Structure 1
Amino acid sequence: MAQYQSDFDDQLSPTPYHGHVYDPGSRAWNARQMGLIDEGALNQCEGGKFFPETQGGLSDKVAPNDVPNAVPPADGKIASAGQEAGRVLDDPTKNWPRKQVASGDAIDISWFFTAAHLTRRWNYFITKPGWDSTRPLSRDQFEAKPFTQVESTLDPFWQHNAALKPANPTKHSIRLPERSGYHVLLGVWEVADTGNAFYQVIDLDFVKSDIPDHLPTPPGNLRTETVTGKSVKLAWNASSGASPITTYRITRNGITTIDVAASLLTWTDESVEPNTRYTYFVSAIDENGAESAPGNTIMVTTLGGEDTPPTAPGNLHSMGETATSVSLMWGASLPEAAIASYIIYREGKEVQRVSGSSQTWNDTGLTPDTRYRYFVAALDSHNRLSVPSNVLTIQTKSQDSGGNYPTWKLNEAYKKGDIVTYKGKLWKCVQDHPSYTETWAPDVPEIKDILWSSLA
C-alpha cells in the first residue's frame, strides 16, 4: 500500500487513467498481472454512470448540479465498461481468479486512484442466485439495486472540492449477502464532475457458511442530524427480523466503534477531529447474535474547530505552461465555507491573492525556459493562515518551441480556445476536454473539427 500512496503523491498533473480495485484483486487487476491488458486498460474501465440505467443525459437524483450521465456500458461490455482496450475482461470463458468468501463475510474493497475525481458515490452490485456464468455480464444477471452504497449528498460539487475528493487509497468495509458458489461483485465509482463512472468486477467463490437462515434487515436511511468540529450526530431507521433486534452496531472508517441498544436510533460520535473525513455504517444484531448486512454508508467531513486553522491546499499542480505563463490549480482547504482567500507564492514571495471560492490562477509575464517554484496557503475569515501546500516546480517553455503556445501533450486538461502547437502547426481547442489518449491528438482525422481546428 505504501507504494500505491507514493505513486499517487508523485503525480502533479491530470493523468489519462483513473483507478481500479486492487484488494481483493479485481478482474482488471488480475488481467494486468496475467499480461492480458496494459496499465491504461487497468485504470480506464470507464463508462457512463447510473448503472443499471441504459440511457445518457440523466441528472443525479440527490445532486442535480452534477454533470449528467453519459451512456452506460452496454450489456456484454460491463466488465470493460465498453473500452476496447479491455474487451478481454468481458470474456466469460477465461478462468478468472476468484476470491474465496462466505455469505455474511465483511470484506474490505480497496480502490487506488491515479486521478481522484470529485466523487458522488460508490455502488456495489452482485449477481443474482442462479445467474448464468457462461454468458458475458448483463444487467439481468445482477440485482437491480446495490447491496451496499457509499454516498455523499454535498451539492453543488464545485463548492465541496476537498470533501468530495476521495482519500487515496480508499477502503470500504462491506458485508456480503447470502450466496453460494461462483458470483460476481460489481463496484461502480460514480464521479460528480463528469458524466462517467469506473467499473470494476471482482470474481468471488462463496463457500458454505454457518450464518443463520434469517438475518435482520439492514438499518435504513443512515443520515447526519448535526455536524460540528467536535461531534457527529447520526440517525437511522429501525431494522426488523424474525427475532427481536437487541443492538445496533456503528462502524466508523471500517472499525467497529460502539454497540447501542435497539431502543436508540441515534448516536453522537464525540471522538472526531476538526476538518476530518469519516465514513459510517450501521448494522443490526438480533437476540441470537445474527448480524444484518450494513445499511447505507455515508461520508461526513467535520467542521473546523474554533481555534483550528484551515487545512493546507492539496495537490498543487500545473494545468499547462507556455513560454511566459503557467496555469496553476489546487484542491480546496477545509472548512471551505470559511476560506476568505488563497495566497499564491512564487520563489517564497507572495505574488497574488484570489477568492476563497477559486482554486486556479494564471501567472503571466514569466521568462521563457526558466524554472519557478510555487506553493499556496489558505487564509480563513478569522485571518488564520494554513500551512503551505506542496511545493510545485515547473519550467516555462523555450521561446523557439512554438512562441507563446505550448506543444500539445498527453495528460492535459484543455479548455475551449486554447492554442497549441503540434507537428509544426497551430491548433485551437474547439471544446473542453482532457487529453487522455494519443487518439485525441489534434491531427487525428476523427478528432479534427470536433476537439481541435487547424489554424495553419
Structure 2
Amino acid sequence: MRKKISATIIGLSVACISLFPAGSAGSHGYTDAPTSRQAFCAQGAVEDCGEIQWEPQSVEGPKGFPSHGPADGTLCAGGNSRFAELDDPRGGAWPATQVTAGRSYTFRWRLTARHATTDFRYYLTNDHYRPDRPLTRADLDLQPFLTVPYGGRVPDATVTHQATIPAGRSGKQLVLAVWTIADTGNAFYACSDVQF
C-alpha cells in the first residue's frame, strides 16, 4: 500500500511539473511591429540565428539605457552573449520593415510573461548609423522619440503604442525598443531594421 501511495505521489508530481514547461520563467517579450530581428529568426525568415530562434522573448539585459545597460555593440542582444547573432549586422542584410518618415506607426510588443513596468521607450538611429556595423549609442538619437510611462502597472499580453516616426530619415535605419521592468534590474531589448 505504501508503495502505491508513493508511486501515485511521484506520478502526480511529474504531471504537475510537466504543466509548467521548462524555460517559461525566462519568457518575457519582443516586438513584432516593426518586425524585430528576433521575430524574423523565430519565423525562420533569417537563418543561422542560434538559440534566439526558439526564444525571441528572452532578450533581457541590464536596465538604465542609455546611461547604463548593455555595452555598445551588444545592444540588439541586450548584452546577452547567448543571442550574439542579433548583434551581427550581416553586412546590412537584415530584412527591414517599410516605414515613412513623419507618418504615424503602430508599434507592438508580444509579452509571453508580463511584468510590472516602468516604461517602454523607442530610439531611432541617426545620420552616423551604418547598417553594416554593430549598433552603438553613437548611432542612436539618445532621446527616445516615444516614451510610454507605466508607473509600475502590468501591461496586457499585447501592447501597442502609436507614434509619429521622426522626419528627416532616409535609407535603412534601426529602431531600438526597450521595455524597462519596474521590480527587477533588467529590461528587454528589441532591434527592428526599417527602410525609409
Tell me whether the two structures share a fold, i.e. TM-score over 0.5.
yes
CA distance in 1, matches of 2:192, 2:77: 12
SS in 1 for 2:82: helix
**Which residue is 2:29 aligned to?**
19
> Cα deviation per residue 1:156-206 (whole Å; 9 max; x = unaligned)?
x4xxxxxx0101111111110011111100100001010100000110111
- Give runs of aligned pairs for residues 303-452 of structure 1, distance below 5 A: none
Structure 1 position 47 matched with structure 2 position 37: no
> Cα deviation per residue 1:3-62 (whole Å; 9 max; x = unaligned)?
xxxxxxx9899622111112221111112223523322x1111111121113xxxxxxxx
**Which residue is 1:29 aligned to?**
39
Decide whether aligned partners of structure 1 residues 46 and 194 sit closer, same or farther in structure 2, where only a CA change above 3 A counts.
same
**Which residue is 2:98 aligned to?**
100
CA distance in 2, matches of 1:144, 1:130: 13
Structure 1 position 183 matched with structure 2 position 173: yes
The one-letter amino acid of 1:165's match is V
> Cα deviation per residue 1:324-366 (whole Å; 9 max; x = unaligned)?
xxxxxxxxxxxxxxxxxxxxxxxxxxxxxxxxxxxxxxxxxxx
The structure whose residues are more often strand, as a share, is 1
Is the Cα contact below 8 Å between 1:44 and 1:83 reproduced in 2?
Answer: no
Is the Cα contact below 8 Å between 2:34 and 2:194 reproduced in 1?
Answer: no
Q: Percent identity?
A: 35
- Give runs of aligned pairs for residues 209-224 of structure 1, distance below 5 A: none
Is the Cα contact below 8 Å between 1:99 and 1:205 reproduced in 2?
Answer: yes
The structure whose residues are more often helix, as a share, is 2
**Which residue is 2:190 aligned to?**
200
Is the Cα contact below 8 Å between 1:15 and 1:114 reproduced in 2?
Answer: no
**Which residue is 2:71 aligned to?**
74
Residue 111 (structure 1) aligned to one of 109, 126, 139 = 109
- Give runs of aligned pairs for residues 221-300 of structure 1, distance below 5 A: none
Provide structure 1 residue ranges, at least 5 long, that are not aligned to the other structure: 1-9, 55-71, 158-163, 207-456
CA distance in 1, matches of 2:24, 2:58: 14
Runs of 4+ in 1 over 6 A off after TM superposition: 10-13
Q: Please, what is the CA RMSD of the aligned residues?
A: 2.0
Is the Cα contact below 8 Å between 1:126 and 1:183 reproduced in 2?
Answer: yes
CA distance in 1, matches of 2:192, 2:122: 10
**Which residue is 1:85 aligned to?**
82
- Normalised by the length of structure 1, the TM-score is 0.36
> Cα deviation per residue 1:53-94 (whole Å; 9 max; x = unaligned)?
13xxxxxxxxxxxxxxxxx11110000112222111101125
CA distance in 1, matches of 2:25, 2:112: 7
